[in-house]
Structure 1
């Protein structure tokens, strides 16, 4: 859709990316806090290498389940379509063509009505 910003055209993707970054950052921060607490509980110094391996394993296990991702794709898309994100908007030209096709199916003389409306509203066919 010309004239619309990249933020509007891809709003679902931007919201999904923001939620992903927020959740991944939180996962790794709280993961470090838990890892450091567990290491200190057994008298060891927490190391980044041990943390990285543990967190990569946990992260990949979470992605395998796809539970949160699926929830967002279903619930988030339904919500954004409901409020009218750009992905849910149908272009005026396409909607007009669909209405014209329906009118022609319902009424064989609809062509005259369509032409009258086009003339009245100065929206001639291109």
Structure 2
């Protein structure tokens, strides 16, 4: 293993730290889905007992899957659209995202000018460093 590969391996966070948000979210999802399963099974069992019929897994699973997909449709699709839609609009450069970037640039330029630094000179320096020409 080369030295740069070893350094990269050391600087990379461990799996649980790198994906902690996803792991916690998956845990919440599983706990809530198992809870839905258990409580819906109890409700279907009680309803079957009220009608004098035995509990049937064949009757339960279609109800469970229907309620699961109904919940996913009403909740997750809304959230997915909000996240994906906002990401697309930001990527496409909606007027709101451009306005925010322009305001931040104006504030940074004002701060640089206040300190006696030429913002256009700073842009040249940053570009030169990015191209590998600066020190």
Alignment TM class, shorter chain as reference? 0.5 to 0.7
Alignment of 1:11-90 (within 5 A): 11-66=20-75, 70=79
- Residue segments in structure 2 that go unaligned for 5+ positions in a row: 1-7, 84-107, 123-133
Q: Which aligned runs of 4 or more in structure 1 are off by greater than 6 angstroms?
A: none
| Aligned length, in residue pairs | 84
Task: Give me the whole-angstrom Cα distance separating, in 2, the residues matched to 1:47 and 1:7.
Answer: 40
CA RMSD in angstroms comes to: 3.5
List gaps (5 residues or longer) in structure 1. 75-101, 112-124
Normalising by structure 2, report the TM-score. Answer: 0.51
- Report the structure, 1 or 2, having the larger helix content: 2
| Distance in 1 (alpha carbons) for counterparts of 2:39 and 2:23 | 24
Distance 2:46 2:52 in 1: 10
1:69-125 C-alpha deviation (Å, 9 max, x unpaired)? 84xx99xxxxxxxxxxxxxxxxxxxxxxxxxxx79x9325x99xxxxxxxxxxxxx9
TM-score by length of 1: 0.54
